[in-house]
Structure 1
Amino acid sequence: MIFIPLPFVVALLLLILLAALLRNQGYARGNRPFLALLALCALQSTIVGLRWGYGIAELRYVLPVLASCVPPLVLASFRSLIHRDRADSAARWLQFAAPPIVMVVLELLAPELIDAALIVLFIGYALAVLNLGRTGPDSLDEARLEGVVAAHRALVIAAVSLCLSASFDLVIFLDFEWSKGTNAALLVSNANLLWLLLLGLTAIVAARAQAVPAPDAEEAATTAAQDREVLDRVNRLLTEQSLFRDENLTLSRLARRAGLPARQISGAINRLERKNVSQYINEFRITEACRLLRETDISVTAAMFEAGFQTKSNFNREFRRVTSLSPAVWRVQNRLSSG
């Protein structure tokens, strides 16, 4: 039977989380620190599995350096949810680069101090992370409002995870002191399983609260002009050819008729009209249904089918969304007013 160390399972789960973020281009664009954190956690978990699952002793030199990169990256990730002056970028770079440099120096000159240095490092950065959110969710002023509370909780949990790692490092250090590392493999695997996975989960929760970076003024103007051109082409199809009457109309079919990518059409409608494609098309249908109800004596059901709707429930729901009235009441009121 093939032996699969638990850290490999953790690495796989972290990679799945990473893929979930990368699938959304908006999240991937604005969440490089969180993406890097997930990738680093997955890499560290894999190295732990190779070191303690398969006994590759040479990797013991790699693990402290990798571990020392995690706390600064956690801090950088949550700092990306806070608006700050970038003038101190050199200091921040030193804040990130110093821990792995210190680990390399200790490996060369004083390897007996590595465990203590990692414990101090993890606790110190945990306190720095907590300090970022000391004033509550409002401190994360670059997070989207709908996700800021969850992001703040993730910040606290991430700080706790760093402290948890420090406590595991202490236990492992004591195990080597008292029993020559008899339980080290089990302790390291379980510690890795718990705190890296916990850190990965908090990273994806916080990453989803990250606002997509706004385009600059020139890019925004270009995008708006392109969106308007797309929307004008779609509107011509819907009005001149009454394409909205097609009860089997889909975004894909609309895109083929317009000669445009479906994503470009949906993006233009979302950005310019603040609606999804279904709502936008249904408003054309409701306009036509209103015309029929006002100008003809056909039944509400007949007007519904003429306008392109297939089900009465969807028709009634959309009619109320657009007019705030039921079709029957709208007909009575508008015929009275027109008379």
Structure 2
Amino acid sequence: MFLFIRLWVTRGTLSPIAILLAACALQTAILALAQHYHVPGMRFVQPITATLVPPIAWCAFQWTAVRPANRSDLLHLLGPLTAVAALITAPRFLDIFVPGTFAVYGCAILFLSRKGPDAQPRSFLVDGNLPSRIWQVIGAALIVSAFSDVLIVAAIAGGFEHLRPWIISLFSIGNLLLIGIISLSDHLRAEETNQEEPRRTSSTEAEQQVWKRVQTYMEDHRPYLDPDLTLLRLSRKLGVPAKTLSTIINQETGENVSRYVNDARIAAAQKALIDGESVTSAMLSCGFNTKSNFNREFLRIAGSSPSKWLANEMAPENQP
């Protein structure tokens, strides 16, 4: 709950990530009340609230990285409603349904996040692959929560029933806390917009024209200098669907959009360093807002840190 309040206060809005944190806080509280304090009725509430966490994590992933919310997201309420029905008619079914829900949503997040930044048009390109990796951790955490139920069955079969509440608490609270902590990462920021993406109109000749437009736009307008640039925002400026734009850039450069944009940023930073700007000034002027992102991308492209690269470039043997 502290992490939820901190995120809400610092960002000034009830974001999808904040909603996920609130769900994690609720579930950890109910777990404690049911398994350790034995509050009447909490054992019946626990499986219902548990089935809320995975779909909220999925929606947070979609709304933060992929697309805005839409009415189809209401279908995810079928999970908790199924849990309520099972609690009334077939309680034993919950032993399969609850961990299955965590496993299915965890695998879905893990699978889609592995596609990288081009499949996450709402993520900021300056963050590179980090948002994808964070979502992979969240997906894996959901899967681990499902695995804890296997341990519970093994403990019961082995005559260690007394370990059941500890397994539930340690695995569930540990994983939910992990989700909470990494959810505070600035790399899970997302562009807030309700504008629609342009309609797809593509052919081989049209794609070649789009690529020329991309090169011209990058050279003339230098959109990469904006640290808040996203694939979605770039696609709107060019009037090209995000998926089409990422495909064309990948075909022409062999890299994803994030790397293509960050290549241009590092080239601008290198020019600024040669012109006498400090490392920090060059970092800020070329579209990076954190040293970690800047140093990571500079090392990837130049093979060394900015200071070492500059020293090598300014060495007498490298001067014209």
- Assess same fold via TM > 0.5: yes
1:58, CA displacement in angstroms? 2.0
- Counterpart of 2:109? 129
Matched-pair contact (CA < 8 Å) for 1:28–1:35: no
Partner of 2:150, secondary structure, is: helix
2:65 maps to 1:65: no
Write the distance in 2 (CA, Å) between the matches of 1:176 and 1:193: 20
**Residue identity opposite 2:189 in structure 1:** Q
Which deviates more, 76-85 or 118-127?
Answer: 76-85
Q: 2:190 aligns with which of 197, 211, 215?
A: 211
- Look up the match of 1:52: 35
* Identity among equivalent pairs (%): 25
Q: What is the alpha-carbon distance in structure 2 between the residues aligned to residue 40 and residue 119 of structure 1?
A: 17
TM-score computed with the length of structure 1 as normaliser: 0.53
Deviation at 1:194, TM superposition (A): 1.4
Q: CA deviation at 1:214?
A: 5.0
Residue matched to 1:20? 6
Counterpart in the other structure of 1:166: 146
Shift of residue 46, structure 1, vs aligned partner = 0.9
Instruction: Name the aligned partner's letter for residue 74 of structure 2.
Output: W
Matched, 1:156 2:156: no
Alpha-carbon spacing, 1:119–1:209, altered in 2? closer, same or farther (3 Å)? closer
Superposition deviation, residue 138 in structure 1: 2.5
Matched with 1:93 is 74
Q: Does the 8 A contact of 1:45 with 1:192 survive in 2?
A: yes
Deviation at 1:80, TM superposition (A): 1.3
Mapped to 2, the partners of 1:148 and 1:121 lie a distance apart of 30
Quick one: which amino acid aligns to residue 195 of structure 1?
A: N
Deviation digits for residues 179-234 of structure 1, max 9, x if unmatched? 372211221221133111111123222x6532352598xxxxxxxxxxxxxxxxxx
> How far apart, CA to CA, are the structure 2 residues paired with 1:61 and 1:68?
12
Normalised by the size of structure 2, how large is the TM-score? 0.56
State the distance in 2 between where 1:85 and 1:55 align: 40
Distance 2:154 2:92 in 1: 13
Larger radius of gyration: 1
Task: Classify 1:178/1:167 alpha carbon distance in 2 versus 1 (closer, same or farther; 3 Å).
Answer: same
Take 1:83 and 1:52, find their aligned partners in 2: how far apart are those partners?
37
Paired position in structure 1 for 2:93: 113
Partners in 1 of 2:40 and 2:153 — Cα distance? 17
2:61 touches 2:135 (CA, 8 Å); kept in 1? yes
- Deviations along 1:268-320, one digit per CA (max 9) or x if unpaired, are xxxxxx9xxxxxxxxxxxxxxxxxxxxxxxxxxxxxxxxxxxxxxxxxx99xx
RMSD of the TM alignment (CA)? Answer: 2.6
Residue 38 of structure 1 aligns to which amino acid in structure 2? L
One of 154, 170, 179 as aligned partner of 1:190: 170
- TM-superposed CA distance for 1:131, in Å, is 3.1
CA distance in 2, matches of 1:80, 1:148: 18
> What amino acid does structure 2 have at the position aligned with 1:65?
I
| One-letter code aligned to 2:8 | L
Q: Which runs of structure 1 show a deviation greater than 3 angstroms over 4 or more consecutive aligned residues? A: 82-86
Equivalent residues in 2 for 1:319-330, closer than 5 Å: none
Distance 1:28 1:182, change over 3 A: same
Q: Give CA-to-partner distance per residue, 1:26-70, whole Å, 9 cap, x none.
A: x343x6221111011011111111112212242110110111011
Q: Is the 8 A contact 1:126 1:162 kept in 2?
A: yes
SS across alignment from 1:171? helix
1:215-262 C-alpha deviation (Å, 9 max, x unpaired): 98xxxxxxxxxxxxxxxxxxxxxxxxxxxxxxxxxxxxxxxxxxxxxx
Structure-2 change in CA distance of 1:171 and 1:139 (3 Å): same
The letter for the 1-side match of 2:53 is V
Are the structure 2 counterparts of residues 45 and 85 from structure 1 closer, same or farther at C-alpha, using a change threshold of 3 Å? closer
**Equivalent of residue 60 in structure 2, options 55, 70, 77:** 77
Deviation at 1:178, TM superposition (A): 4.0
**Contact kept in structure 2, 1:148 and 1:209, CA below 8 Å:** no
Residues 215/131 of structure 1: CA separation in 2 closer, same or farther (3 Å cut)? closer
Retained in 1: the 8 A contact 2:20–2:56? yes
Where is the helix percentage greater, Structure 1 or Structure 2?
Answer: 1
